[in-house]
Chain A
Amino acid sequence: MIRKARSIALGTAVAALALPAAAADDGAGKSYTPPRPPGDFTPPPDSAIPDGPMGDMIRRGRELFMHTQKLSGDYVGNGMNCVNCHLDRGRKASSAPLWAAFGMFPAYRGKNDHVNTMIERIQGCFRYSMDGTPPPADSKPMVALLSYHFWLAKGAPVGVALPGRGFPAIDKPDKPYSVARGKTVYERECAICHGSDGGGRKAEGTWVFPPLWGSESYNFGAGMHRINTAAAFIKPNMPLGRPDLTTQEAWDVAAYINSKPRPQDPRFTGELAQTKKRFHDHMCLYGTEQHGRTLGAPDGE
């Protein structure tokens, strides 16, 4: 039973991801033409948000999606905002847009081996990407965020994997990914914004450039800590405003940022090898030796 369900879910995931990859060439673009965003569905404009209590809730959700740090301490444990990974306020194709997600839930997820509602999916990003405590289903922040997801999907089909959903499939690299090469890419292309220590940068007390590793970043349970997921995000989206890395560079730099320390996987059983075996049977560096220490080992181990 479970195996069957798994393969169905995998099939859907593959279908969702196997979209025409963005048509950027790999020539480390001297003359850069931005890729045409895939996706036929256009979410409604902000100006169409209705007046009244529903409109207020949608606007509140948009606000929380962009400035999730407002929930810092209560539900958010790091320095991230939802919009950091779901660009253009959750609208941009190829950065897991909300309009493509809403109609695809409830759905079975292998990650927790049961059928997840939209709310539980959002809670997942709170737990891992935001390294926090998810807001309860009927709490005001969750109702607001859910309303915003719903609004962006207005007019989208239900149960149809729209082009632009998730991150587009990225080709396999020619050479196996390399943390060492990734460091070179990082220092050349990313450090100017995310900092050479990966800690991001604040101005006037608010985050401008989000942290990529360290205590303020996503934790070891987050999708972004998988090298393939990070590579698939980085290729069409980073460096911000000029996403023109080669496929190889995207893989290498994805490996580099994920070879650095970050908050513990909240599912940590107290034992690294066990946690790795149970929850990290995928493309990641958790529990491996990196930069002279075991990644994910609790302090002092």
Chain B
Amino acid sequence: MKPQRFNALAPALAALLLVPVGDAAAADGRKIARNGTNAGAPACKTCHGMDGAGRAAGGFPRLAGLEAAYMVRQIQAYADGTRANATMKPIAKALSASQARAVATYYADQKASGRKPDGKAPAAGRRLATIGKWSKTVPACNACHGPGGRGGGADFPAIAGQHESYLVAQLKAWRKGRRTNDPNGLMAAVAKGLTAKEVQAVAAYYARQSAP
């Protein structure tokens, strides 16, 4: 009897031990993206898509390929109000720390093939991205956001391939003080050095670049 029971348990135990932690998180994250949580967080896919492509029309950002640590920080910022947004605040508050990590890890692994907008960006956009505006101490965006704006580590998110409407909204949020979660005020200093026209131009530029 005894040895038999041991035998029956062993495979289950082994299976449990063999599931790598990362996979468990990804499975959990996918579920949250698809169905939301019992605590009332809605399905992320409604706005961000299962593939994380987001949607320009709603101002829903692309999440695919962003660093998980960056997204976790943003979810915390929505919850604590340092990033003011009426839509994301209750959603962020409904997520536990481990749920936030799981769903962020899920989206970090997605590779949405977003469609780039038609038309060309004004030349000023490329200039800001690669050279900057030194008369206002604004370095090239790529100096922090990495080659091609495809990311410079978890503190400096990818902005290439992001939706134009969303990029404009963020730069405005910094200019107006609605987004204050950036480390050391680095991004606020940049956004405040730009004119409204330059914000449009640089957003148009990055929306037409390839996402990471």
Contact = CB atoms under 8 A, between A and B. Distances in A.
A184 interface: no
Contacts, number: 63
Given A87-B134, A91-B134, A203-B152, A240 B146 contact: no
A242 B143 contact: no
Interface residues of B, number: 25
B192 to A, nearest CB: 8
Using C-beta atoms within 8 Å of the partner chain, give the interface range for chain A.
20 to 34
Contact of A242 (B146, B147, B150, B186): B186
A204 B193 contact: no
Interface string A194-206: 0000000101101
Contacts of A32: 185, 189
A203 B189 contact: no
Contacts of A89: 131
Interface in B92-143: 131-132, 134-139, 143
Given A34-B137, A88-B134, A209-B152, A204 B147 contact: yes
Nearest to B158: A203
Contacts of A204: 146-147, 150
A189 B134 CA distance: 20
Given A209-B152, A241-B137, A241-B139, A193 B131 contact: no
B183 interface: yes
A298 interface: no
B146 A208 contact: yes
Contact of A192 (B150, B151, B183): B183
20 contacts: A32-B189, A34-B136, A87-B139, A88-B131, A88-B134, A188-B184, A192-B183, A192-B184, A203-B146, A203-B150, A203-B151, A203-B153, A208-B143, A208-B146, A208-B147, A240-B139, A241-B137, A241-B144, A242-B189, A243-B137
Nearest 6 CB-CB pairings of A with B? A34-B137, A203-B146, A242-B189, A88-B134, A208-B152, A204-B147
Given A88-B132, A241-B143, 11 more contacts: A34-B136, A37-B135, A87-B139, A192-B155, A192-B186, A201-B153, A206-B147, A241-B137, A241-B138, A241-B186, A242-B186
